[in-house]
Amino acid sequence: MPLNQDVIFSCSIDDGHPSDMKAFELLSRHGLNATFFVPIRNREGMPVMPAADLREIASRFEIGSHTHDHCFLNKLDLPVAQFQVMEGRKRLEDMLSRTVPGFCYPGGKYSRVHAQLLRQAGFAYARTTTNLCFDSGRRRFEMPTTMQFYPHRRSVYLRNFVKGGRWHRRQAGLRLALENDDWMLRLYALFSHARKQGGVFHLWGHAKDIDELNAWPQFDQFLGHVAQRVKPANRLTNAQLATRAFLRG
Ligand SMILES: [Zn+2]
């Protein structure tokens, strides 16, 4: 079967850990595109990269907001959630001297009221942690992904599948995730499926996880594989992906 050349690749890296600079270097070297979702502080105690590094990343890629303190919105009273959303973005915008249109829900935790809050606050889109999708979803404040760069157990995929809905659209991804026990085989199988569909492959991850897994060579190799197969016009930031997918709001 000939492969469809129209596959779109987007990548997002969460949490603003200093190791994000390594992801930045590799994504840049391979000529790909990405969004880095960054809190101002991490209440879990993880370091967040300094403003100079953020500006360097912003010179090439998109920076998105991830609340002020990396708070799970569903754990907060609404006014506090609103503060986290507004202040997290304002601080980033002050640091970068540019608008920040994107948001990613820490821990993937949110409800419809939070999606509404983001819309009212003027964000353009929000990314979730729903995986196994080969499109941009149906709602601009619930943008899904395809795979996290992490060796999850099968049970994690099953839970994510059940919780994320749109089962008919995601069942091919689930089958591939369950069939491929080795997470690298799974990664390449899901990407190959996206190519056959001419769909979207949205990779996301945490640089700190890649550090701990000693998986930078595998990350590098996969990005090289992608760069050989995705045309430059289809290497998008999350904001560009949202713009392309939700032109009519
Ligand atoms: Zn996070």
**Residue range 4-62, pLDDT digits in tens:** 568 999 999 999 999 999 999 999 999 999 999 999 999 999 999 999 999 999 999 99
Distance of CA 116 to the CA centre of its chain: 20
Q: What is the total residue count of the chain?
A: 249
Q: 194 CA to middle of ligand 1, Å?
A: 25
User: Could you tell me the domains of the chain?
Assistant: 8-245 (3.20.20.370)
What's the pLDDT score for residue 247? 65
Q: Give the CA diameter of the chain.
A: 53
Q: How far is the CA of 223 from the centre of ligand 1 (A)?
A: 22
Which residues fall within 8 angstroms of residue 198, CB to CB, at 6 or more apart?
4, 5, 6, 7
Name the DSSP class of 143. Answer: B
- Give distance in angstroms: CA of 106 to centre of ligand 1: 4
Rounded to the nearest angstrom, the distance between the alpha carbon of 71 and the centre of ligand 1 is 8
- pLDDT of 1 reads 43
The pLDDT of residue 248 is: 52
Q: How far is the CA of 93 from the centre of ligand 1 (A)?
A: 19
pLDDT for residue 3: 54
Taking residues 129-156, report their average pLDDT.
Answer: 95
Q: Rounded to whole angstroms, how far apart are CA atoms 96 and 36?
A: 13
Question: Which of 182, 186, 62, 87 lies closest to 131 in space, CA to CA?
Answer: 186
| Banded model confidence at residue 198, pLDDT cuts 50, 70, 90 | confident
For residue 31, count other CB atoms closer than 10 A to its CB. Answer: 12
Specify whether the CB–CB gap between 25 and 9 falls below 8 A.
Answer: no
Cα(1) to ligand 1 centroid in Å equals: 38
Residue 66 C-alpha to ligand 1 middle, in angstroms? 7
Q: With contact defined as beta carbons under 8 Å apart, do 115 and 126 qualify?
A: yes
Distance 86 CA to ligand 1 centre (A): 17
DSSP, res 111:
-
Cα 83 → chain centroid: 23
6 CA to centre of ligand 1 in angstroms: 30
Q: Which amino acid is at 84?
A: Q
Ligand 1 midpoint to CA 15 (Å)? 5
Question: Residue 125 pairs with which residues in a beta bridge?
Answer: 102
Burial class (CB in 10 A: 0-12, 13-18, 19+), 216: middle
CA–centroid distance, residue 74 to ligand 1 (Å): 14
Report the pLDDT value the prediction gives residue 5, as an integer from 0 to 100. Answer: 64
- Contact between 126 and 141 under an 8 Å Cβ cutoff? The reply is yes
Mean pLDDT (whole number) for 184-203: 96
If you measure from the C-alpha of residue 39 to the centroid of ligand 1, how many angstroms do you get, rounded to a whole number?
Answer: 8
